[in-house]
């Protein structure tokens, strides 16, 4: 049933949620304190790249289903439901910074004039919702309002897809009525597709969010350490991922070794959980190690290059990929920072390329000694070696002939195992993938999905 909804925060989570809710039939007021951003959003300009979002946003703006504003009071008074999806970035000591969340909740509580459901989507430490309910118990009681937690599981680069195809809807609420309202709001993407709906306490829902990201981060950290082992014993991490992934209890997604996980969530949520536990006298030693292990991986592509070509001083190195993953312009937590800093400190001349993230990288990386190029060929021209850090389709499809024509040297560090090694070997290249030593031409193509199919077919 159509609801009047306010969404506080128009970042990666808030904007996708606001546009998606408008598109599935609700009347949405998206609120942000950043007036410039609100102005841009009204014109249909996106503050970041997210595949498919621009088109849907234009549709719902034209249909008058979404309004952008900085006036929080108006948004609260006209809405039955208020989503809060503001940032909770990590503080120096790893704890989650809840200042934006508290400000947004204070704004909403101040303007509460009737019974409303306040849905927190921001990732918060366990116990946050209960503390907010305690703090504002008088206003909540007097207006018969409720605060619930409804974690988001959106991935950058596929956030629009993830909004319309959630694996589950988790509702952390002490009130059945409020939980039913949340369930109702998402019915068009949940009810119609029989998506599991888990109703639980707010603190369990907060822990489900943290635990999901911890499990995903751990999976990647384990695969990256197995990759390190593979490079010494001569096994092949793609074969290991295929074999392990065939175990129905493990499954075959999220087993790709690489230069360590990046992004704004895994690191933040792992350290957020570890510090929240430590504050309660609980030492999460194994979970804490995920970050130590991951930090080690980020420099490995540069170290493998140094081992392959010797001294880096004066060498021309092409670094392909600055975004923390493909299909995003977000560079937060990208291994490119570690790799380019190391190379330039060792005296290499670095030319970097990324289809989308160049501007954000230059904005955030203040070191000297490197430059960015518009075209991938310009980064590769006369390069002694190349390092692939992000699994962009453009790099997956690089032709060996093109690189042989552009580059001076014949060494490639493919940290994402995405190029067809056999084709490059036949052009005289030595390719070092993550988790393999020297790739023997065992299968037509070395990328993982082809291998997976070949392996399974041949069983």
Residues that bind ligand UDX in the complex, under the rule CB under 6 A: 152-156, 213, 216, 220, 254-256, 258, 261-263, 265-266, 324-325
From 107, 150, 265, 406, the catalytic residue: 265
| CB neighbour burial string for 116-130, b if at least 16 within 10 angstroms, e if fewer | bbbbbbbbbbbbbbb
Angle at 123 between CA 56 and CA 201, to 5 degrees: 110
Residue whose CB is less far from ligand UDX, 6 or 238: 238
90, β-bridge pairs: 96
272 vs 311: CA distance, rounded Å: 39
Angle at 415 between CA 410 and CA 421, to 5 degrees: 50
* Residues with Cβ within 8 Å of residue 81, at least 6 apart in sequence: 3, 4, 5, 6, 116, 117, 118, 119, 181, 185
319 vs 323: CA distance, rounded Å: 12
Residue whose CB is less far from ligand UDX, 255 or 343: 255
Residue 123 annotated as lining a ligand binding site: yes
Residue 254 annotated as lining a ligand binding site: yes
**Nearest alpha-carbon partner for 351 in 320, 376, 372, 323:** 372
Question: Is there a contact between 81 and 50 (Cβ–Cβ < 8 Å)?
Answer: no
Residue whose CB is less far from ligand UDX, 270 or 376: 270
Residue whose CB is less far from ligand UDX, 389 or 411: 389
Q: CB 84 → ligand UDX: shortest distance, Å?
A: 16
Residue whose CB is less far from ligand UDX, 298 or 316: 298
Question: Is there a contact between 123 and 151 (Cβ–Cβ < 8 Å)?
Answer: yes
**Nearest alpha-carbon partner for 316 in 381, 405, 360:** 381
Residue 307 annotated as lining a ligand binding site: no
Question: Is there a contact between 220 and 155 (Cβ–Cβ < 8 Å)?
Answer: no
Residue 199 annotated as lining a ligand binding site: no
Q: Spell out the alpha helix ranges (H) of 279-334.
A: 285-297, 300-309
453 vs 459: CA distance, rounded Å: 10
Residue 256 annotated as lining a ligand binding site: yes
Q: CB 247 → ligand UDX: shortest distance, Å?
A: 16
Residue whose CB is less far from ligand UDX, 75 or 216: 216
Per the annotation, the verdict on 107 as an active-site residue is no
| CB neighbour burial string for 354-377, b if at least 16 within 10 angstroms, e if fewer | bbbbbebbeeebeeeebebbeebb
Residue 94 annotated as lining a ligand binding site: no
Residue whose CB is less far from ligand UDX, 208 or 350: 208
Q: CB 456 → ligand UDX: shortest distance, Å?
A: 18
Q: CB 229 → ligand UDX: shortest distance, Å?
A: 17
Residue 428 annotated as lining a ligand binding site: no
187 vs 24: CA distance, rounded Å: 9
Q: CB 156 → ligand UDX: shortest distance, Å?
A: 4
Q: CB 74 → ligand UDX: shortest distance, Å?
A: 30
Q: CB 266 → ligand UDX: shortest distance, Å?
A: 6
Residue 46 annotated as lining a ligand binding site: no
Q: Spell out the alpha helix ranges (H) of 96-185.
A: 99-110, 128-135, 137-142, 159-164, 176-185
290 vs 258: CA distance, rounded Å: 15
| Residue list for the binding site | 32, 37, 88, 123, 153-156, 209, 254-258, 262, 268, 325, 332
| Residue list for the binding site for substrate | 153-156, 209, 254-258, 262, 325
What residues are annotated to the active site?
265
| Residue list for the binding site for NAD(+) | 32, 37, 88, 123, 156, 268, 332
């Amino acid at each position: 049933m159509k609801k009047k909804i306010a969404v506080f925060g128009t970042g990666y989570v808030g904007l996708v949620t606001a546009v998606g809710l408008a598109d599935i039939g609700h009347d949405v007021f998206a609120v942000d304190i950043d007036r410039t951003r609100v102005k841009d959003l009204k014109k249909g300009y996106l503050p970041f790249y997210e595949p498919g979002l621009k088109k849907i946003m234009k549709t719902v703006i034209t249909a008058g289903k979404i309004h952008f504003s900085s006036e929080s009071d108006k948004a609260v008074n006209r809405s039955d439901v208020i989503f809060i999806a503001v940032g909770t970035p990590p503080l120096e000591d790893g704890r989650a910074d809840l200042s934006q969340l508290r400000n947004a909740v204070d704004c909403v509580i101040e303007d509460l004039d009737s019974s409303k459901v306040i849905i927190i989507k921001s990732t918060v430490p366990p116990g946050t919702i209960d503390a907010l309910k305690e703090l504002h118990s008088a206003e909540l009681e007097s207006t018969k309002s409720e605060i619930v937690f409804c974690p988001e599981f959106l991935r950058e680069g596929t956030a629009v897809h993830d909004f319309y195809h959630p694996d589950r809807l988790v509702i952390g609420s002490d009130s059945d009525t409020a939980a039913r309202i949340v369930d109702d709001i998402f019915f068009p993407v949940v009810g119609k597709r029989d998506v599991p709906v888990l109703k639980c306490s707010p603190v369990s829902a907060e822990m489900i969010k943290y635990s999901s990201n911890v499990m995903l981060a751990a999976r990647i950290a384990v695969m990256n350490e197995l990759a390190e082992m593979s490079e010494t014993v001569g096994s092949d991490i793609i074969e290991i991922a295929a074999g392990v992934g065939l175990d129905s209890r493990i499954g075959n997604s999220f087993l790709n070794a690489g230069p360590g996980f990046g992004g704004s969530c895994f690191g933040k949520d792992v350290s957020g959980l570890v510090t929240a536990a430590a504050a309660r006298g609980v030492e999460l030693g194994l979970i804490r190690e995920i970050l130590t292990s991951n930090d080690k991986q980020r420099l490995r592509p540069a170290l493998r290059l140094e081992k392959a070509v010797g001294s880096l001083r004066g060498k021309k190195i092409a670094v392909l990929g600055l975004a923390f993953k493909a299909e995003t312009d977000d560079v937060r937590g990208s291994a490119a920072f570690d790799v380019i800093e190391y190379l330039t400190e060792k005296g290499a001349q670095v030319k970097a390329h990324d289809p989308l993230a160049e501007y954000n990288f230059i904005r955030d990386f203040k070191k000297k000694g490197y430059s960015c190029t518009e075209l991938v060929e310009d980064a590769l021209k006369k390069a002694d070696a190349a390092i692939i850090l992000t699994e962009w389709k453009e790099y997956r499809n690089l032709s060996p002939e093109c690189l042989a024509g552009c580059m001076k040297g014949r060494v490639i560090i493919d940290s994402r195992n995405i190029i067809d090694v056999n084709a490059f070997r036949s052009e005289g290249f030595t390719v070092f993938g993550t988790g393999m030593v020297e790739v023997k031409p065992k299968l037509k193509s070395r990328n993982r999905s082809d291998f997976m199919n070949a392996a399974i077919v041949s069983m």
